[in-house]
Structure 1
Amino acid sequence: MIIWQPNQEINKGRFIIQGKPLGSGGFGTTYKVLEPSTGKLYAIKTLNSTMQLREDFAEQQVKFINEALTIKGFDHPHILKVYEVIQEGELFGVVMEYIDGETLFKYVQNKGQLSESEALLYIDQIGKALEYIHNKGQLHRDIKPQNILLRQNKQEAVLIDFGLTRSIATKSMTNSLTEGYAPIEQYRRKGSFGSHTDVYALAATLYYLLTADGLKKEGEFTPVPAQNRKYDDEVLPAPKHYNSRISQRVNDAILQGMEIEPEKRTSTVFKFRENLGLVVQPRRTPPPNPLPASEEGGLKSSCGIDYTKLHDLLKAGKWKEADEETRRLMLAVAKREKEGWLDLEDIDNFPCEDLRTIDQLWVKYSDGKFGFSVQKRIYQSFGGTRENNSEIWEKFGDKVGWRRGNNWLYYKDITFLDKDKAPEGHFPVVDGCVLFCCVFGVSSLAPRLVNCNI
């Protein structure tokens, strides 16, 4: 049995083991190593001590290396990069990208369940990685929060641990799995395997990200295992059971993605992302003012809000009245009429459908001059992020006409100019105080607009 020790040199001194193993799973152990000649850090994965003691160790090591060579051909920003295979004595190792960060599971354990917008950001990234893998004819078969790394200080998720990866064409697979995330077909050696197999695990991962606090309160740590659902008639509670702030669209998409029977389940990751509202539909020579939902058969709302008055005010060019109506509608959507303002969580979970309707109405009737999406573009052009940066805020405020003489304007001091005279991005102002909207509105709203593809 071979276990590499801290400060041990391997591969003829090319690498030096750094500290204890980064982690060990059912198949492999991963080490952090330094390449002295370049000063770069890498991760090297080997078969673990349990696998080394098996009679078929040599055969398992061949499979391990063949799988590594398959992954080596992957080139995607959200897939762990594999560089090469090395040998140290009888043990082979796979040299991989070292990511300074933590797993999505540990992140949620420390922070608590995520907001819908943040959870969708990571699911969208991993979903795109899975689409790439599926197009290469492979299945991951072990999607779960523990197999997703977050780069330190970045909202970037990376898919790791391809130990169970198999060709989609394979009809018989090992029944290795992770309870709570594996679909029913994975409990059998032979089954209906396909893209839908990874869809279940991705949907279950999103389920956990959005309901971790509720699950923990009830003594659960994963979604109900598929086998319990099928054979013990155990019911999978809807995500909203644990987290009432989840939008109906996301709630329904998760449940469809976690259907027990493959033929009833969302068939592809692309369709799952589409059901979540994450897919940007291609446009034919997009105009500066996209058509609002009202001219496509009705003003769309996820919660029954009537946007007719806003439509009519904007069409008539009544910008102040439309701005006040926008504020009223947004409070109604978030059920915050009593409080009279939106907090960060309200914005993070604001329904994409309603946000898109409001934005499209403003964009259309201002000929592309006003709207949240216009403000987002201006704000990001100055390098704006969710972090508060006074210099960027001031530039933004000057650009959209919310400052005068180096001072922020209050709502009562705003001059509601006609469309041709108002600065680009001037509307909607939305709140009663421009300073409040600037500091807590645009910065918080920008990530939601990105996640909603607005």
Structure 2
Amino acid sequence: MIIWQPDQPINRGRFIIQGKPLGCGGYGITYKAQETNTGKLYAIKTLNQQMQLKNDFAEEQVKFINEALTIKGFDHRHIVKVNEVIQEGKLFGMVMEYIDGVTLFEYVQKKGQLLETEALLYIDQIGQALEYIHQKGHLHRDIKPQNILLRQNQQEAVLIDFGLTRSIATQSMTNSGTNGYAPIEQYRRKGNFGSHTDVYALAATLYYLLTADGLKAEGEQQPVPAVNRKYDNEPLPEPRSYNSRISPRVNDAILQGMALEPEERTPTVLQFRKNLGLVVTPVPTPQRKHERITPPQEIQLKSAVGMDYKKLRDLLATGKWKEADAETARVMLAVAKQEFKDDQTEFWLQRKSIWKFPCEDLRIIDQLWVKYSNGRFGFSVQNRIYQSLGGDYVYDSDIWEAFGDKVGWRKGGMKGFYADITFDIKAPKAHLPAVMAGYLPFVGMGRQDGVDFLERVETCKL
């Protein structure tokens, strides 16, 4: 049995093992290693001690190498990058990028259940990674919070551990999986396997992210296992029974994604993302210079106070970002029954107006920005970034300044000005709408009003 030790050189001294293992599962063990020539850090995965003691160890090593070759062919920002396979004695190692961060499970264990907006951000990223994997003809088969890493100080989730990955075409698979996340078909050697198999696990992961506190109170660490639901008739409580802040749309999407039988389940990850409201329909591109594009009609422009949002819609549809920003200020102040001035730097939404601002109207404005920027701009996007930095709607100067840096409203650590705003689709994510950057809470980073506005965005479930 081979166990690599701290400071041990491997692969003819090319790598030096650094400290204790990063993690150990039922299949593999992962070490942190430094490449001696470059000083660069890597994660190197091998078969663990239990696997090394098995009679079919040689066959397991072949599977391990095949896993490495499969992942090496993947090129996606939310999938861990595999560089090569090395050998140290009789043991093979998979050399991967080293990700400085924690698993989503560890993150939730420390922080508690996530707000819906933050949870959806990570699920959307991993969902896109799964769509990529499925297009390549493979299933992951082990989606769970423990197999998702969060990059340090970034709002990026990365999918890891492909030990159970199989070809979609294979209809006879080992009955392996993790209780609470594995669908019922993974408890059978032969079954109806497909993209819906990973949908179940992704939906179960979202279930956990949003209900961890309620589950913990009942002494549970994961949703009710599919096998218990099937053979013990144990019901799956709807997520809202643990967390009343979950929106009906997300609650229903999770339950459909976790339907017990494959035939009744959401069939694809793309459809699951659509059910969650995460897929934005691209805006058609004009074929001729003066051709008019009819804006998509999916967004219902039904204001709670009779405001007309057609002009804002048309400006966004044609990519007139600066004009759309000014129109956003105008309609928001009109809804709040405050005076609008041509000088946009005078924009100011009073605190009493923030808390009375109709959710219906805030949602329309946000959906229009999100839709026509393909998810790049919008108040909900700004709110997710604020949350990802640790924002909890209580003013904190460090978090507020980090937020201003992240969305590009501060330059070189100094507060910015409205004249410095970039009205272009290539602007930093969440840079627009910048009407709020035109009033001091965002530019000066020194008032509770801006925090209150984002909390209103959160309470409106944007």
Q: Assess same fold via TM > 0.5.
A: yes
Q: Find out whether 1:233 has 2:233 as its counterpart.
A: yes
Aligned to 2:406: 385
* Residues 367-382 of structure 1 aligned to structure 2 (within 5 Å): none
Picking from 407, 417, 439, the partner of 2:450 is 439
CA deviations on 1:89-145 (whole Å, 9 max, x unpaired) are 111111111111110000000011111111111111111111110010000000000
Q: Note if contact 1:143-1:201 (Cα within 8 Å) is conserved in structure 2.
A: yes
Aligned to 1:263: 263
Aligned to 1:274: 274
| Superposed displacement of residue 196, structure 1 | 0.4
Aligned to 2:335: 325
- Find the aligned partners of 1:269 and 1:71 in 2 and give their Cα distance: 19
Aligned to 2:306: 309
C-alpha spacing 1:354/1:61, structure 2 compared with 1 (3 Å)? farther
C-alpha spacing 1:5/1:276, structure 2 compared with 1 (3 Å)? same
1:44 match: secondary structure: strand
1:310 match: secondary structure: coil
C-alpha spacing 1:175/1:155, structure 2 compared with 1 (3 Å)? same
Q: Note if contact 2:405-2:411 (Cα within 8 Å) is conserved in structure 1.
A: no
- Find the aligned partners of 1:374 and 1:59 in 2 and give their Cα distance: 47
- Find the aligned partners of 2:409 and 2:328 in 1 and give their Cα distance: 32
CA deviations on 1:47-85 (whole Å, 9 max, x unpaired) are 111111111111111111111111111111110111111
Aligned to 2:78: 78
| Superposed displacement of residue 307, structure 1 | 2.4
2:307 match: secondary structure: helix
Structure 1 stretches of 4+ with a deviation exceeding 6 A read 289-293, 312-315, 317-321, 360-364, 373-376, 390-393, 427-435, 442-449
Paired AA for residue 309 in structure 1: G
Paired AA for residue 325 in structure 1: V
Q: Find out whether 1:395 has 2:440 as its counterpart.
A: no
Aligned to 1:92: 92
| Superposed displacement of residue 12, structure 1 | 0.8
Aligned to 2:364: 357
CA deviations on 1:258-292 (whole Å, 9 max, x unpaired) are 111111111111111111111110111389x9989
Q: What is the RMSD of the two structures over their aligned residues, measured on CA atoms?
A: 4.4
Q: Note if contact 2:442-2:450 (Cα within 8 Å) is conserved in structure 1.
A: no
1:311 match: secondary structure: coil
| Superposed displacement of residue 325, structure 1 | 3.1
Q: Note if contact 1:299-1:307 (Cα within 8 Å) is conserved in structure 2.
A: no
CA deviations on 1:196-217 (whole Å, 9 max, x unpaired) are 0000000100111111111111
1:213 match: secondary structure: helix
Q: Note if contact 1:131-1:269 (Cα within 8 Å) is conserved in structure 2.
A: yes
Q: Which runs of 5+ in 1 are unaligned?
A: 301-305, 329-338, 365-370, 377-381, 401-423
* Residues 117-196 of structure 1 aligned to structure 2 (within 5 Å): 117-196=117-196
- Find the aligned partners of 1:218 and 1:363 in 2 and give their Cα distance: 38
Paired AA for residue 31 in structure 2: Y
Q: Note if contact 1:256-1:266 (Cα within 8 Å) is conserved in structure 2.
A: yes
Aligned to 2:399: none
1:279 match: secondary structure: coil
- Find the aligned partners of 1:97 and 1:157 in 2 and give their Cα distance: 14
CA deviations on 1:32-52 (whole Å, 9 max, x unpaired) are 111111101111111111111
* Identity score, percent: 65
Paired AA for residue 13 in structure 1: G
- Find the aligned partners of 1:180 and 1:64 in 2 and give their Cα distance: 25
Q: Note if contact 1:181-1:201 (Cα within 8 Å) is conserved in structure 2.
A: yes
C-alpha spacing 1:363/1:311, structure 2 compared with 1 (3 Å)? farther
- Find the aligned partners of 2:332 and 2:181 in 1 and give their Cα distance: 46
Q: How many residues align?
A: 396
Q: Which runs of 5+ in 2 are unaligned?
A: 313-326, 339-350, 372-377, 384-402, 422-432
Q: Note if contact 2:183-2:200 (Cα within 8 Å) is conserved in structure 1.
A: yes
- Find the aligned partners of 1:283 and 1:395 in 2 and give their Cα distance: 31
TM-score where L is the length of structure 2: 0.74
- Find the aligned partners of 2:182 and 2:192 in 1 and give their Cα distance: 13
Aligned to 2:110: 110
Q: Note if contact 2:409-2:415 (Cα within 8 Å) is conserved in structure 1.
A: no
Q: Note if contact 2:409-2:416 (Cα within 8 Å) is conserved in structure 1.
A: no
Q: Note if contact 1:46-1:93 (Cα within 8 Å) is conserved in structure 2.
A: yes
- Find the aligned partners of 1:355 and 1:321 in 2 and give their Cα distance: 10
